[in-house]
Amino acid sequence: MAKAKEARSTIKLKSEASDHCYFTEKNRNNTKERIQLRKYDPIVRKVVMYKEASKL
């Protein structure tokens, strides 16, 4: 029998203000759309919008 794909996949969150990135996981079954989060960016020292850039 074939193995099922994992529900959780590692994604890269890219800052809109700089080149800083966070890596996190998302559940593919529950979250179909791309993630957008407000997180702290240490390069610009502010809370900025991070958008899902790619899956790893």
> Which residue is listed with tokens 């790893």?
56
State residue 1's pLDDT score: 60
Count other C-beta atoms under 10 Å from residue 53's C-beta. 14
Residue ranges of the domains in the chain? 8-52
Task: Write down the pTM of the prediction.
Answer: 0.82
pLDDT at 2: 62
Q: What is the pLDDT of residue 4?
A: 73
Output the tens digit of pLDDT for each of the chain's 56 residues. Answer: 666 778 899 999 999 999 999 999 999 899 989 999 999 999 999 999 999 998 77
Q: Exposure string (b/e) for 1-37, b if CB count within 10 Å is 16 or more?
A: eeeeeeeeeebebebeeeebeeeeebeeeeeeeeeee
- Looking at domain 8-52, which of 2.20.28.120, 3.40.190.10, 2.30.42.10, 3.40.50.1220 is its CATH number? 2.20.28.120
